[in-house]
């Protein structure tokens, strides 16, 4: 269920007044697993009350304690992560998922640095979105307030454990996390360190909790914890996101899959196009902002493809080519073992790996039509020196982010100055694109009168 769907549903009575009591099972008999998960959510909701009252200084103190704990525990975290990596290899996880799962000293240092960047960001809670004084003297203010309890369901991404916790805490929310079995050892240790850091500054440890120990059944209960969880954010592959959207009874923001496109226009600077294409595809192939399809205008294909295709192959990229681009690849001497015929399945696929679909298109209109048909609505890029072409692409491509003469790799909360993101929303309500602190708040109207009554 999406945010839009919740507006069409009768409000759950259990949500009124934000009761912390766990919803009961039919017949009055509660399943032990369900009771355990709902108890965690109930304690998170109680903890969220303390966070809603916490000053920025207290929340920032907690974040600094988390960053310091990560740095102090590098060896322990890497050792736990090695257990997950070994299990992942034995279970046949793809190289893309193993890359997302891996933590080393440099990545842990980067996560700690991201936490400190969030400390430097303004606290959104209490911000006046708008306000006015009515002719009758009533004073109105619309303020940002925490959501309450934010649930996260994700897979093989231990960095998200820290990102989600830190963004939730800074915006005054509690977080209930389901990080998946692939990162069980790493996430267990990270959550423990976060809880210890919270307790060290006098904030409730229950403000960040994990339900990983309850597996997929626990995840399903989190999806149904209406009245205890205010917002659920799935972050992962298409199957995970679809499962959450179809089964949740709490409001969901979809962080959609990243079937991202780069379109090289007839008026492109081909040197820029080469650098942008290679960066968008190969900087990190396992992330959602990596390019998965390259579209090239027919007027520049004969010059551009013989440059870019060998450059991609040199980086280990397997090419899924339409007929025209396959001919040019052959003429450029691209090894046949790195070339596959493109099908509709390729245009629809988020590879999250070293694969790229390539097509030659006859016009800007054809490029836009292709993107609108196959895109997941995440990020698309156009490379062009023609301002009219750029304007049309921006206006007609219906994605959360559209880049002009820039790599898709920039679609990232940190790059946008938002701090570590909780996800990239491909929806159109409340939040769209990288979700930072402001997107984890709601608003509240405050009305101040002086004995006013309505006639």
CA distance linking residue 199 with residue 423, whole number of Å: 27
Find, among 368, 434, 405, the residue nearest to 279 by Cα. Answer: 405
> Does residue 386 form part of some domain?
yes
∠ CA 108-109-111, nearest 5°, is 65
**Strands, E, within 276-327: which ranges?**
291-297, 318-321
Residues 202, 329, single domain; the answer is: no
> Does residue 419 form part of some domain?
no
Residues 287, 216, single domain; the answer is: no
Structure tokens at 6: 């919740």
In this predicted model, what pLDDT tens digit does every residue of 297-335 receive, in sequence order? Answer: 999 999 999 999 999 999 999 999 999 999 999 999 999
> Does residue 270 form part of some domain?
yes
> Does residue 420 form part of some domain?
no
Residues 217, 306, single domain; the answer is: no
Torsional sign, CA 73, 76, 79, 80: negative
Residues 306, 205, single domain; the answer is: no
Listed in sequence order, the DSSP H helices in 16-148 are 32-53, 56-72, 74-90, 95-101, 105-120
In this predicted model, what pLDDT tens digit does every residue of 368-389 receive, in sequence order? Answer: 999 999 999 999 999 999 999 9
> Does residue 242 form part of some domain?
yes
Residues 127, 192, single domain; the answer is: yes
> Does residue 130 form part of some domain?
yes
Residues 291, 193, single domain; the answer is: no
CATH number (domain holding residue 292):
3.40.309.10
In this predicted model, what pLDDT tens digit does every residue of 282-292 receive, in sequence order? Answer: 999 988 999 99
Residues 116, 29, single domain; the answer is: yes
Structure tokens at 204: 């409730």
Listed in sequence order, the DSSP H helices in 352-386 are 364-374
> Does residue 178 form part of some domain?
yes
Residues 376, 397, single domain; the answer is: yes
CB under 8 A, 24+ apart: contacts of 89-95: 93/156, 93/182, 94/352, 94/353, 95/286, 95/353
In this predicted model, what pLDDT tens digit does every residue of 219-254 receive, in sequence order? Answer: 999 999 999 999 999 988 778 888 998 999 999 998
Domain count for the chain: 2
Whether 138 shows a pLDDT value over 60: the answer reads yes
> Does residue 203 form part of some domain?
yes
Cβ-based neighbour number of residue 335 at 10 Å: 10
Q: What is the DSSP letter of 69?
A: H
Residues 279, 218, single domain; the answer is: no
Find the domain containing 152 and state its range.
Answer: 3-254+427-447
> 172: phi > 0 → left, psi -120 to 50 → alpha, else beta; which?
left
């Amino acid at each position: 269920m999406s945010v839009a769907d919740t507006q069409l549903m009768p409000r759950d009575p259990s949500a009124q007044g934000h009761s912390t009591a766990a919803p009961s099972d039919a017949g009055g008999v509660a399943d032990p697993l369900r009771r355990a998960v709902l108890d965690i959510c109930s304690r998170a909701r109680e903890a969220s009350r303390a966070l809603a009252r916490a000053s920025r200084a207290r929340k920032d103190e907690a974040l600094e304690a988390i960053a310091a704990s990560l740095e102090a525990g590098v060896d322990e975290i890497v050792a736990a992560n090695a257990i997950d990596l070994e299990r992942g290899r034995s279970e046949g996880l793809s190289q893309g998922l193993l890359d997302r799962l891996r933590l080393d000293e440099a990545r842990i240092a980067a996560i700690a640095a991201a936490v400190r960047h969030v400390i430097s960001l303004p606290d959104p809670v209490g911000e006046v979105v708008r306000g006015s004084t009515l002719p009758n003297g009533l004073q109105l203010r619309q303020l940002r307030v925490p959501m309450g309890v934010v649930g996260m369901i994700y897979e093989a991404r231990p960095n998200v454990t820290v990102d989600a916790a830190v963004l939730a805490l800074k915006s005054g929310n509690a977080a209930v996390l389901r990080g998946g079995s692939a990162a069980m050892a790493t996430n267990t240790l990270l959550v423990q360190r976060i809880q210890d850091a919270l307790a060290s500054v006098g904030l409730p440890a229950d403000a960040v909790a994990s339900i990983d120990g309850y597996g997929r059944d626990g995840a399903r209960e989190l999806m149904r914890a209406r009245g205890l969880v205010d917002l659920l954010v799935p972050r992962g592959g298409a199957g995970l996101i679809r499962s959450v959207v179809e089964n949740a009874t709490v409001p969901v923001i979809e962080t959609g899959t990243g079937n991202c496109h780069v379109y090289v226009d007839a008026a492109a600077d081909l040197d820029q196009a080469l650098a942008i294409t290679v960066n968008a595809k190969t900087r990190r192939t396992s992330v959602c902002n990596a390019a998965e399809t390259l579209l090239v205008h027919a007027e520049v294909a004969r010059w551009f493809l013989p440059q870019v295709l060998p450059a991609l192959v040199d980086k280990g990229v397997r090419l899924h080519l339409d007929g025209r681009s396959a001919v040019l690849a052959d003429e450029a001497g691209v090894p046949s073992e790195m070339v596959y015929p493109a099908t509709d399945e390729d245009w629809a696929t988020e590879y999250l790996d070293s694969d790229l679909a390539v097509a030659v298109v006859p016009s800007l209109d054809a490029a836009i039509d292709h993107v609108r048909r196959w895109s997941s609505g995440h990020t698309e890029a156009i490379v062009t020196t023609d301002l009219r072409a750029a304007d049309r692409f921006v206006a007609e491509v219906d994605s959360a982010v559209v880049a002009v003469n820039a790599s898709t790799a920039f679609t990232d909360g940190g790059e946008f100055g938002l701090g570590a993101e909780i996800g990239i929303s491909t929806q159109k309500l409340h939040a769209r694109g990288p979700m930072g602190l402001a997107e984890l708040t709601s608003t509240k109207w405050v009305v101040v009168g002086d004995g006013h009554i309505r006639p």
